[in-house]
Structure 1
Amino acid sequence: MVYFEDIAIGDGFDFGPLTVSREETVAFAAEFDPQPFHLSDEAAAQTHFGTLSASGWHTTALFMKMFVAEMQRQPGRQAASLGAMGVDELRWLRPLRPGDALHGRSEVIDKKASQSRPEMGIVRSKVTIFNQDDKPILTMIPIAMWRTRPAGL
């Protein structure tokens, strides 16, 4: 298992790839963010987007899908993860377009032991999601909780 104590500032890993389809872009928007520029090229053509673009929330959900898939490939890491407390500095830098192939990078930027919960520590990471041209489309800083090493291990 990868405990809080095993994580160092600067540690990082890559995740993905994942390609987003037009159908899933429209389906997500229809259910969760039904703004016209997320639903049709015609409506998007009347905006600064120009063509259909995914909801930023869809982009964020795709980050989670790729990130968890990578965590599941590293069972010791996933077993020590206790969820997240939130996200700082979420930025959508470019539109996600149907057909874009995403990949990401997560790098630890800060960590501290919990003052009130000795069984966990807090890890902040800088996450960047890139498109197929290696242009960043999303950045954020998740605040994750990690299991500390039990006494005697």
Structure 2
Amino acid sequence: MRYWEDMAAGETHRYGRHELSADEIADFGARFAVPAVAGAEPGAAPGHLLCCIAMRLLVDHALSGMASLGSPGVDHIDWPVPAYAGDVLYLSTEMLSLRPLESRPEMGLVKQRVTLSNQHGEAVARLATNAFVARRGVSA
């Protein structure tokens, strides 16, 4: 189990592999009635699908072994390059900052950059996220 004390600013990791399919893109659009976005590339995966894929990879490969206590939210999301069926996606994370919470000493706040990249190393989704992580041996 990874606790807040086990993490360091500047730490980076690369996780997972997800091959994006045409069926997955079509199913997501149909299930969630995703409207066309002005300027969006025809056939490109919706940005929110890319966020779902990033979260799935994050949960499977990072959060499952972390003393995570949830998240107060995301500060920023962007989709710099479109993703298409056949793209192979990978997730990377970079710890930006960590600080203990004065009001809740049993946890710390971790800010990180989460990037979903295609097989060419191009970022298709970037998120600035926040996470609450339990501190080892500190009780509420």
Tell me if both proteins adopt one fold, taking TM over 0.5 as the criterion.
yes
> Aligned letter for 2:14?
D
Corresponding residue SS for 1:14? strand
- CA pair 113-138 structure 1, distance change in 2 beyond 3 A: same
Alpha carbons 1:33, 1:55 under 8 Å: kept? no
Residue matched to 2:74: 87
Query: Sequence identity of aligned pairs in percent?
Result: 30
Residue matched to 1:107: 94
Question: Which structure's CA Rg is the greater one?
Answer: 1
Residue matched to 2:26: 26
> Aligned letter for 2:95?
V
Q: Distance in 1 between matches of 2:120 and 2:33?
A: 26
1:133 aligns with 2:120: yes
Residue matched to 1:59: 50
Aligned length: 139
- CA pair 151-137 structure 1, distance change in 2 beyond 3 A: closer
> Aligned letter for 1:71?
A
- CA pair 91-36 structure 1, distance change in 2 beyond 3 A: closer
**What is the Cα deviation at residue 48 of structure 1?**
5.3
**What is the Cα deviation at residue 126 of structure 1?**
1.0
Q: Distance in 2 between matches of 1:120 and 1:33?
A: 38
RMSD after superposition: 2.1
Q: Which runs of 5+ in 1 are unaligned?
A: 38-46
TM-score for the superposition, normalised by structure 1:
0.82
Q: Distance in 2 between matches of 1:34 and 1:146?
A: 33
1:124 aligns with 2:111: yes
1:71 aligns with 2:62: yes
Alpha carbons 1:126, 1:139 under 8 Å: kept? yes
- CA pair 149-100 structure 1, distance change in 2 beyond 3 A: same
**What is the Cα deviation at residue 34 of structure 1?**
2.8
- CA pair 133-116 structure 1, distance change in 2 beyond 3 A: same
Corresponding residue SS for 2:70? strand
Q: Distance in 1 between matches of 2:102 and 2:137?
A: 16
1:5 aligns with 2:5: yes
Q: More helix per residue: 1 or 2?
A: 1
Q: Which runs of 4+ in 1 moved over 2 A?
A: 33-37
